[in-house]
């Protein structure tokens, strides 16, 4: 699935459809049923995408699937006020713990995103990328990039809690509650993905800057004109390591 199509579908299933359900089906289905249905639509979509559409199973998709399951379980916790604000922020809190915790154990989460993005498909490429990520500039940039994403989650969590606390003031189970939830979702489920994309873009920009600083240049070419794996191959050859093409 192409990137733009996937992003559009994510926004439709994660934001547009739930908001439409909350605003248009509350009277028909009843407020609690409409609320649960709206909460479960993104969960079902994420799980279906993971297991039946994308069908890629790694640390990242496992985290996404587990987060969706957590949100699905929390959908049946019928609370309002402060508890609802906390519940709706739980997913972001888990993200903060995951990214911050990955730094503490010495395996920055952006490492897994980088491996998935570059997709080393031979043993030599995997070895080359592992060695590259152990280089001090790249290793430091992995930590910095992960910190950037973790901080974005912290800020998003704080904003999400504040918005829910200030805007979702009606008791659970009524039409007004669902409308207020829809109003918050209209902000957060569009703004937060954009903020996340910006954070990841900045993180990856720092990562690739550090990576290219460690790699040689092809004669007569700038690094940006060369294939990354070609530069990794040259780097390994200079070190006397097996090259990508030799395996």
Over residues 164-211, the pLDDT tens digits come to: 999 999 999 999 999 999 999 999 999 999 999 999 999 999 999 999
Half-sphere exposure in the Cβ direction for 16 (13 Å, CA): 7
Does residue 168 sit in helix, strand or coil? coil
pLDDT at 91 over 50: yes
| Residues 113 and 197: beta-carbon distance below 8 Å | no
The pTM (predicted TM-score) of the whole model is 0.89
Confidence of residue 43 (pLDDT cuts 50, 70, 90): very high
Domain ranges of the chain: 3-215+223-239
Of 76, 53, 24, 11, the residue nearest 182 (C-alpha): 24
Q: Among the listed ranges 18-22, 41-45, 141-145, 231-235, which one has the minimum average pLDDT value?
A: 231-235
Burial state string for 38-60 with b = 16 or more CB within 10 A and e = fewer than 16: bbbbbbebbeebbeeeeeeeebe
Supply the pLDDT for residue 111.
94
């Amino acid at each position: 699935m192409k990137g733009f199509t996937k992003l559009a579908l994510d926004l439709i299933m994660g934001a547009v459809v739930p908001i439409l359900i909350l605003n248009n089906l509350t009277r028909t289905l009843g407020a609690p049923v409409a609320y649960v249905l709206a909460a479960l639509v993104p969960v079902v979509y994420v799980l279906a995408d993971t297991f039946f559409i994308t069908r890629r199973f790694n640390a990242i998709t496992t985290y996404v699937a587990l987060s969706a399951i957590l949100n699905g379980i929390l959908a049946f916790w019928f609370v309002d006020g402060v508890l609802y604000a906390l519940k709706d922020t739980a997913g972001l809190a888990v993200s903060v713990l995951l990214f911050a915790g990955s730094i503490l154990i010495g395996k920055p989460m952006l490492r897994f995103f980088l491996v998935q993005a570059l997709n080393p498909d031979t043993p030599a490429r995997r070895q080359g990328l592992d060695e590259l990520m152990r280089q001090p500039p790249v290793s430091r940039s992995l930590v910095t990039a992960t910190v950037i994403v973790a901080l974005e989650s912290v800020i998003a969590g704080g904003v999400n809690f504040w918005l829910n606390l200030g805007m979702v003031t009606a008791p659970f189970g009524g039409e007004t509650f669902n409308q207020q939830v829809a109003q918050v979702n209209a902000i957060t489920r569009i703004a937060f993905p954009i903020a996340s994309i910006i954070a990841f873009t900045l993180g990856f920009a720092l990562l690739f800057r550090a990576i290219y600083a460690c790699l040689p240049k092809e004669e007569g070419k700038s690094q940006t004109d060369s294939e990354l794996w070609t530069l990794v191959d040259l780097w390994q050859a200079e070190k006397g390591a097996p090259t990508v093409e030799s395996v």
